[in-house]
Structures are given as structure tokens and as C-alpha cells.
Structure 1
Amino acid sequence: MAISQITLLIARAVGIGGAAWLSGNIAALSLISVPALNASHAQDSVSLSTITHAWKHSYEKGKSQNPPVAAVVASSFAYLAWASHRLRAGRSMQLYSVAALLTVGIVPYTLLTMSSTNNKLLAKSKKASSDAEITAAFSPAEDKEASDLLKRWTFLNGIRSTLPMLGAVAAALAGLA
């Protein structure tokens, strides 16, 4: 089977562009969304029970959207690794393989490092939505815990956002090799 140059270019564009987009999409939650929610609490006195409920909606959007995008991007990189192997471009094959693993790495990273924090925040959100009013406040101890969990989640998610960006960098280097 002949490997078309146009197919390689499309795979590179989908892979590198998709990985960079995915990284930005994930990072936006840590750099914009959650800080905006925290500002609503600090500046506008929005309860942390409401904040955790709003966080849940962002979390669910990301959970449904980002893994399929990561799979498409990683598939593009895997194809490029295979094509590099067929074309005997060994270093490119290794870099594209690393790019694929880094990009799809958001899934195990989330499961291994973020599940506990996610589950605790989801439980807080569930408690908030089961209250008579969504705006019912947590106790001071629950407020502190929710605030700490949001800070931890923001940090962990920020780290997670670097995985697809590093994948994009590895793929870009492979394209230059």
C-alpha cells in the first residue's frame, strides 16, 4: 500500500492541531472557568454549593468531549508512527508513538490522579442539588473542603492539559526529523 503525502499532511494537521486544541480546551477550565467560578464566590458571594454544582456541568462536558477527541488525535499519531515505520523513518516513528501515548494519556492520568478529587466534588454537587434550594450554603467546614477540592482540581487539571501539548510538540519534532 502506497503512503500518500497528502494523507500524511492531513494526519499531521489533525494530530498536531487536535492535540494543541485539546490542550487548550483542558487548560481553559483551569485558567478561566474554575477561577471565574471562584471569583463568583469571592466577589459576588455565590455559595460554594452553587459553585460545585456549576463545576459539575463543566466537568461533564469535558468528560464527554475530550476522550473522543484524544482518541482521534492519538489515532492520527498512531497512523503517522505506522507510516514512519513503513517509510523507515525510525526517529519519527518513536516521536509519533510518544505523541499518541501522551495525548491519550489524559484518560489514565484522570483515572489515576484525579478520580478521588472528581468524586468528592461530584458528591458535593449532588448534595447541593438535593438541597431544597440550589443556593443553600454548605457548612463552614464543607465550604473549606469544597474550596480546597476546587483548588486541587484546578492544579491537577492544569497538569493534565500539558499532556496533549507535549504530544503536539513531539509530533512537530517528528515532522522535522
Structure 2
Amino acid sequence: MAASGISFRVAQAVGVGGALWLSGNIAALSLISIPALVRSQTEDSVPTSILSRQWKYTFEAGKSQNPPIAVATATSFCYLAWSVRAGTQLGRLVPRNSIALYCIAAILTIGIVPFTIIAMTPTNSRLIAIAEQKRDAGGSVKPNDEPVEVLMKKWMFLNGIRSFLPLLAGATALVAVLG
């Protein structure tokens, strides 16, 4: 029991901590990074070609950082749900709804993937296309249908919504932990 109790507590810490960290990491892009990029265009006249590439670099960093954290966090929640299933020692010690709460937390955490694919891919694709356009000799990019600033603000809004999924996951798991 002692070993399983320790691994259970570690999984709780990894799950809740990972979900809350992931939420903050995603939210920071919408609250700090992207507004700073948009501001650089409006206040410092940063060309669209540079602004779109800066967004792309930020996007790529988030794309490489966040999925592994989401997987580790969701895996921790799945382990916790499995640990408190009916018939286990831990299952007798925790509130009955703990398994459901940990399952919901896992689904919310991994929910950033379908949200990104369904809600954000069109905006991501347009911004990536702009970032990858050929530049003329002066470094300018031919005008696009939609201004980069508008696309970045849309991305910022959608990404802000996405940040709530792991936040809700962490809060849900915390209810199970404190339950």
C-alpha cells in the first residue's frame, strides 16, 4: 500500500501540476507573446513578413513543448482513474466520483488536440502560409486577403479559449484530490 500510495500522490502532483502549468503556458501566448507581436507592428511598423515569421516561431515552440506535457498529464489522470476503480484499496479510500473526475480531467487535458485541429487549423494554416510566402527584393510580401494583425488577434482569442481546457482539467482533478 505504501508504494502505491506514493505513486498515487506523485501522479496527483504530476497531473494537477502539469494541467495548471500547461494552461498557463498556453495562456501566456495569448496574454503576453502575441499582443507584444501585434504591438510591434502597430507601434514600430514591423513588416508583415517579419511579424508572421515571429508568430510562426512562437507557434512552433508551443507545438513542440505542449503536446508532451499534455500526454504526460493525461496519462497521470488515467493512472489515477485506474488506481481508484472499484475493488482496489485506493478505491475504498476515495470518494466514489473520483474515477469520473480523473477521467474528465484526462479528456479535458487531451482536448487541446481536437480543439486545435477543429477550431484553430484554418487560422494556423493562413498564418503559416503568410510566413512562408516568397518575399520580393525589398523583403515585402504581397498583400493577403486578411491582414496578419486580424489573423493573429483571432488566433490569440482561440488560443485563450484553448488554455481553459487544461485549467478546467486541473480544477477537476483538484476536486478529486481534495474530495
Output the TM-score relative to the length of structure 2. Answer: 0.90
Matched, 1:110 2:112: no
**Corresponding position of 2:99:** 93
Distance 1:143 1:55, change over 3 A: farther
**Corresponding position of 2:125:** 119
Q: Is the 8 A contact 1:71 1:104 kept in 2?
A: yes
**What percentage of aligned pairs have identical amino acids?**
49
Distance 1:126 1:137, change over 3 A: closer
Q: Which runs of 5+ in 1 are unaligned?
A: none
Distance 1:113 1:67, change over 3 A: same
Q: CA offset at residue 145 of structure 1?
A: 2.4
- The Cα RMSD (Å) is 1.8
Counterpart AA for 1:156 = L
Q: CA offset at residue 156 of structure 1?
A: 0.2
Q: Is the 8 A contact 1:41 1:47 kept in 2?
A: yes
Distance 1:147 1:109, change over 3 A: same
**Offset from partner CA, 1:60-119 (integer Å, 9 cap, x none):** 111111111100000000000111113144301100000000001000100010000000
SS of the residue 1:4 aligns to:
helix
**Corresponding position of 2:38:** 38
Q: Is the 8 A contact 2:18 2:69 kept in 1?
A: yes
1:162 counterpart (161, 164, 172): 164
Q: Is the 8 A contact 1:48 1:143 kept in 2?
A: no
**Corresponding position of 1:82:** 82
Output the TM-score relative to the length of structure 1. Answer: 0.91
Give the Cα separation in 2 of the matches to 1:72 and 1:118.
25
Matched, 1:9 2:9: yes
Q: CA offset at residue 160 of structure 1?
A: 0.3
Q: Is the 8 A contact 1:47 1:138 kept in 2?
A: no
Q: Which runs of 5+ in 2 are unaligned?
A: none
Q: Is the 8 A contact 2:135 2:141 kept in 1?
A: no
Matched, 1:131 2:158: no
Count of aligned pairs between the two proteins: 173
